[in-house]
Amino acid sequence: MSETTLNWSQWLIKSRFSYMTEEQKQQTLNWLLSVRDAVLNNAAIRPSDTILDIGTGTGLLGFGAFDYIDESGKVIFSDKFEDCIDSCKQLAKDLNITKPHDFLVSDCCNIKLHSNSINRAVMRSVLVHIFEKQQAFSEIHRVLKPLGVFSAFEPVISSNTRCWELVPENSLSDYNDFKKAEEECMTAQDDPLTNFDETTIAELLKEVGFSQRIIDKQVVESTYTVQSGMVENWLTTPPSPTAKSMKEKFLLYFEEAKVNNYIKELQAALENKPVCIKSNALYIKAVK
């Protein structure tokens, strides 16, 4: 595993922007801020609410939530991994945050909080890393007070544009082999990244007892020109510090020389060409 994928806070700071041009980084940052605002607005936060940011990472939602509360409210930054909580603690200090806040190292499948103790739970791109999604929903439901609101954003990775869709069949020697392998990987049911869609999420929220459930599916599109080395970066950047990159997944199917040749041919077919990458994303709002 490379130095940049040692832990989640480092992954969030370095890897998620790793293959992007400056323009794309700015676009992604703007997009992240718009997602943050939408998740927090959907949560209908009141000034005195206690808000739990689950899987806070470097605090995208938690720090934004301070704009919605006053001295009678509170933000709890929670994450399974201590390095993320340490990073939020440091940022809270640097920003001189004076509104009430707390830090909690906790797995979202076993939240270390009393039942019925929080008003709002917010989450962005965390469920996608959790295999046991029903257990996470059940815990969120347990810690929320009656009529408490859960608001989240999750990408549906299984709906992402496939590499094989971006190029004509005759531009790759092993087009059909890689198309088949990519389809299997992108729909694998034993992988937390790909084992769900909007229907699964709606069913699970209902099963754990949320009385109201609204799932708003949106198409996220990103159009840009493929730069030198970009395909290699797409395929070698892991989606989380512990998950396999697409190249590592392909290596379970094919010899390294064949995978390297595929990357080389894909890069050649796409270099300096515009691509449009699409994905579905879900805005989830559920009331206990």
Ligand X SMILES: C[S@@+](CC[C@H](N)C(=O)[O-])C[C@H]1O[C@@H](n2cnc3c(N)ncnc32)[C@H](O)[C@@H]1O
Residues forming the site for ligand X (CB under 6 A): 8, 12, 55-57, 60-61, 79-81, 84, 107-109, 124-126, 129-130
When the beta carbons of 104 and 275 are compared against ligand X, the nearer one is: 104
Which residues, at least 6 apart from 208, have a Cβ–Cβ distance to it below 8 Å?
A: 134, 137, 138, 141
Among 247, 87, 270, 121, smallest CA distance to 182 is for 247
Rg, Å, the chain Cα set: 20
Minimum Å gap between C-beta 219 and ligand X is 20
Give me 94's structure tokens.
Answer: 């640097």
Q: Which residue is at the shortest CB distance from ligand X? A: 57
Tally of residues, the chain = 288
Beta strands in the chain (DSSP E): 50-54, 74-79, 101-105, 118-124, 144-156, 212-225, 274-287
CB of 118 to ligand X, least distance (A): 15
- Min dist CB 109 to ligand X, Å, is 6
Q: Which is nearer to ligand X, 81 or 224 (CB)?
A: 81
With respect to ligand X, which residue has the nearer C-beta, 60 or 163?
Answer: 60
Q: Which CB, 64 or 270, lies closer to ligand X?
A: 64
For residue 55, the minimal CB distance to ligand X (Å) is 3
Identity of the residue numbered 190: D
